[in-house]
């Protein structure tokens, strides 16, 4: 028998939190480092595969497989099984997104960890916007407008405040004012978050606009956006195409994903012949210093993302190491003795 044990560390959501998940500074650093490693060729990150249910046209829910291998000093393989259900948001206490991550040893391919990734998604999604904002938001941004006071909206407040320290006020908009009020209250005494029911009025005041809603069609109008603003869209298509097309800098996380996943603004503008890869800069290129972010106060900068699995895996791996060190989680064996080898 070899000395390799197929031992899996199972981490439920509470364990993942105890392992340090809610530390936004750490998540921002891990996210930016992963983007840099992608640009340096140390990451294999195939495009996500989406399983739409009951079918693409009438999608009510989806599960997506997001595999990645991260080399360098991290050296882990894994995938996130990322899922969302619109049924869930009609039920009390059920999140839209429900995610799971599996980490494997790249040498033996034995699984090392299985963990809840629901909140990792919230933290890393906001951190991706935070990294984008660090490079493309004006350093003089005083007012930010965040649209969508859900799970991602909550973590977005801290990601944006950490990344753009000049911000004095966040206008947090939602169709459901009670949700915006709830999050504003959670941040009371730490950040100046003002709940707002009028997205148009909030967007018109802001130099930075971040959208993370479940809207099913674009709602952010071009005439609401200042000519030198920064707009970051986290859901597939929330902003009018005109905003993207007239942007001086078009930032994306991953071209191959965004250009083939139907419904995304990048896919739509690409198939309409209005957008090509060469017109965009990626977050990995920004993090590695290969292309510039904002270069003047006059530019309109627009970013669109769908999420990169490598970031989930890098963060999950860090939390796994923290959990091992702190003795958190439950150990499971895949087998005692493999029957057939």
Ligand X SMILES: NC(=O)c1ccc[n+]([C@@H]2O[C@H](COP(=O)([O-])OP(=O)(O)OC[C@H]3O[C@@H](n4cnc5c(N)ncnc54)[C@H](O)[C@@H]3O)[C@@H](O)[C@H]2O)c1
Residues lying near ligand X in the complex (CB under 6 A) are found at 84, 89, 96-97, 121, 125, 147-153, 173-176, 179, 199, 212-215, 219, 234-235, 305-307
Nearer to ligand X, 50 or 111 (CB): 50
Least gap, CB of 154 to ligand X (angstroms)? 8
In the bound state, the residue with its beta carbon closest to ligand X is 150
Nearer to ligand X, 9 or 131 (CB): 131
Least gap, CB of 192 to ligand X (angstroms)? 20
Nearer to ligand X, 199 or 285 (CB): 199
CB-based burial, 307-321: b 16+ in 10 Å, e otherwise: bbbbbbbbbbbbbbe
Residue 111: which of 121, 103, 100 has the closest Cα?
103
Least gap, CB of 57 to ligand X (angstroms)? 18
Least gap, CB of 82 to ligand X (angstroms)? 7
Give the separation between CA 130 and CA 295, rounded to whole angstroms.
18
Least gap, CB of 110 to ligand X (angstroms)? 29
> Hey, how many other C-beta atoms are within 10 angstroms of the C-beta on 174?
22
Least gap, CB of 239 to ligand X (angstroms)? 11
Least gap, CB of 249 to ligand X (angstroms)? 18
Nearer to ligand X, 21 or 149 (CB): 149
> Hey, how many other C-beta atoms are within 10 angstroms of the C-beta on 66?
27
CB 45 within 8 A of CB 311: no
In the chain, alpha helices (H): 13-18, 24-39, 118-136, 151-163, 177-186, 199-205, 241-245, 255-260, 265-271, 283-287, 309-326
CB-based burial, 138-165: b 16+ in 10 Å, e otherwise: beebebbbbbbbbbbbbbbbbbbbbbbe
Helix (H, G, I), strand (E, B) or coil at 62: strand
Least gap, CB of 36 to ligand X (angstroms)? 18
CB 50 within 8 A of CB 62: yes
Which tokens go with 200? Answer: 């148009």
Give the separation between CA 231 and CA 146, rounded to whole angstroms.
10
Cis before residue 54, ω within 30 degrees of 0?
Answer: yes
**Residues linked to residue 45 through DSSP beta bridges, in sequence order:** none
């Amino acid at each position: 028998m070899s000395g390799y044990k197929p031992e899996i560390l199972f981490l439920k959501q509470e364990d993942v939190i105890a392992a340090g998940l809610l530390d936004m500074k750490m998540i921002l650093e891990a996210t930016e480092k992963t983007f840099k490693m992608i640009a340096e060729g140390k990451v294999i990150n195939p495009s996500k595969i989406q399983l739409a249910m009951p079918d693409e046209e009438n999608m009510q829910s989806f599960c997506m497989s997001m595999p990645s291998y991260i080399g360098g000093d991290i050296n882990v393989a894994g995938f996130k099984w990322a899922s969302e259900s619109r049924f869930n948001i009609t039920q009390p206490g059920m999140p839209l997104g429900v995610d799971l991550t599996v980490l494997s040893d790249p040498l033996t391919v034995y699984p090392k960890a299985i963990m809840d990734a629901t909140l990792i998604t919230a933290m890393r999604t906001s951190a991706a916007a935070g990294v984008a904002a660090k490079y493309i938001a004006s350093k003089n941004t005083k007012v930010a407008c965040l649209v969508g006071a859900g799970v991602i909206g909550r973590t977005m407040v801290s990601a944006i405040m950490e990344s753009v320290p000049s911000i004095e006020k966040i206008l947090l908009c939602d169709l459901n004012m009670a949700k915006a009020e709830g999050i504003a209250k959670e941040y009371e005494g730490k950040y100046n978050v003002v709940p707002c029911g009028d997205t148009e009025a909030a967007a018109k005041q802001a130099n930075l606009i971040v959208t993370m809603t479940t809207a099913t069609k674009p709602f952010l109008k071009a005439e609401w956006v200042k000519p030198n603003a920064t707009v970051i869209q986290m859901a597939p298509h929330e902003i009018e195409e005109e905003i993207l097309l007239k942007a001086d800098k078009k930032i994306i996380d991953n071209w191959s994903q965004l250009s083939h996943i139907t419904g995304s603004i990048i896919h739509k503008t690409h198939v309409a012949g209005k957008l090509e890869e060469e017109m965009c800069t990626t977050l990995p290129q920004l993090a590695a210093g290969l292309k510039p972010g904002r270069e003047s106060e006059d530019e309109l900068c627009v970013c669109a993302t769908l999420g990169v699995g490598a970031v989930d895996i890098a963060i999950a791996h860090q939390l796994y190491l923290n959990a091992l060190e702190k003795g958190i989680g439950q150990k499971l064996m895949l087998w005692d003795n493999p029957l057939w080898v």
